[in-house]
Amino acid sequence: PPLHTLISSHDLEEVASRTISKKAWAFYSSAATDCITHRANCETFDRIWWRPRVLRNVQSACTKTRILGVESSVPFFCAPAAMARLVDGEGEKGIARACAKAGVLQCISTNASFPASEICASVPSHPFFFQLYVNKDRTQTDRLLKSLPSTIRAIFVTVDAPIAGKREADERVRADESLSTPMSGAKAKNDKKGGALGRIMGGYIDPGLCWEDMKWLRSITSLPIVVKGIMSVEDAVMCAEAGIDGIVISNHGGRNLDGAPPSLRTLLQLRLARPEIFRKMEVYLDGGIRRGTDVLKAVCLGATAVGIGRPILYALNYGEEGVSHFIEIIRDELEVAMKLVGITNLGQTSLECLDLGEVETG
Ligand code: FNR
């Protein structure tokens, strides 16, 4: 169907489910075992109500913010996702062009289909973030960080994937052995368990990574460090104490540990138990963001911004234009939500915009 007839992230997902390759759909859409966390990531947003205020002059609303000091037209960014080329030949470069046009930040994955230098070069001078998987061979990681282009403004080190989860839909579809990721050197090679790309291409990731290594990471880069994959209040506090610049509350889109708490629940627990943490470092969330209202709820709970994963890949089914279209859908939904809640800039977001009556926070 023509792109302009698709008016929500759900529309783009539905079309992707029947038009992209079987392997791309299996890899992108899959989550761990019974997909409980993946579903809950989305559904938890539905249990928080608004507490809208009226008569507040909402003629115009501004969605601009700063993420680690970098300007962003919206409080959301492209979450790092492996192998965007499975759905479109331009892959991450197409996403980059759409993001640059819209003033949106993209976090490039270590498992991207192109080297970061090529992705960044497709939109010279536009800022990016880089997601790091630490290699068992630390010299490789050191070399990778030193090779990054200067437009990379922060390192997001992913810590919720010491090993890949059991993604059954992805195991069932054989992997094409011509697939590879240039920055990690990984190649798709089916094994006895099947063809799940997260597992067979993530073999280089170091499961020995620990808190001590955060000091090593601090010593080899001068960029801000964000820890991605925080699932508990305790670990969020440890990050703040370790002088980490930011965290992404995330369970990898439900792709690793099934039963991990939905991201929004962890954010809410952190906000209620340790509000001071949000003044020490920036807090982001990803997992289950499908609507502008989802973005705004997370921001009201204290998130500086949120990451969006799968929907960007589904939008890329229509190339760069699809991603532009998707960004505009979410930006517009966000602006409408702000006005209807009774606020005109993100500085006015707070817990008072929300009715948490029905969410269980224990
Ligand atoms: C991911 N994610 C991910 N995260 C990461 O740190 N490095 C990576 O290489 C990848 N790769 C990846 C591939 C695909 C196909 C998906 C769907 C996800 C996780 C991603 O950054 C993010 O945490 C989730 O996608 C957020 O959930 P939603 O928005 O997909 O619900």
Q: Is the ipTM of this complex over 0.90?
A: yes
Instruction: Please list, residue by residue across 165-196, b when 16 or more beta carbons sit within 10 angstroms of its beta carbon and e when fewer do.
Output: bbbbbbbebebeeebebebbebebeeeeebbb
pLDDT at 35: 98
Q: How does DSSP classify residue 353?
A: G
What does the pLDDT average to over 112-141? 98
Q: How does DSSP classify residue 72?
A: E
Find the 361 Cα to ligand 1 centroid distance in Å. Answer: 25
CB of 87 sitting under 6 A from ligand 1: no
What does the pLDDT average to over 88-92? 98
Stated length of the chain: 362
Q: Tell me which residue has its CA closest to atom 8 in ligand 1.
A: 81
pLDDT band for position 3 (cuts 50, 70, 90): very high
Q: What is the pLDDT of residues 9-45, one digit of tens each?
A: 999 999 999 999 999 999 999 999 999 999 999 999 9
Residue 9 tokens, joined = 């992230």
Amino acid making up residue 206: D
pLDDT band for position 359 (cuts 50, 70, 90): confident
Q: Which residues contact 65 (CB under 8 A, 6 or more apart)?
A: 72, 74, 75, 304, 305, 346
Q: How are beta strands 180-181 and 107-108 bridged, if at all? A: unpaired
CB of 109 sitting under 6 A from ligand 1: yes
- 3-class secondary-structure state, position 273: helix
The Cα 247–Cα 233 span in angstroms is: 11
pLDDT at 357: 78
For the annotated catalytic residues, the residue numbers are 252
The Cα 1–Cα 48 span in angstroms is: 34
Is the pLDDT score of 89 beyond 90? Answer: yes
pLDDT at 358: 74
Q: How does DSSP classify residue 250?
A: -
The Cα 263–Cα 41 span in angstroms is: 6
pLDDT band for position 361 (cuts 50, 70, 90): low
CB of 308 sitting under 6 A from ligand 1: yes
What does the pLDDT average to over 239-246? 98
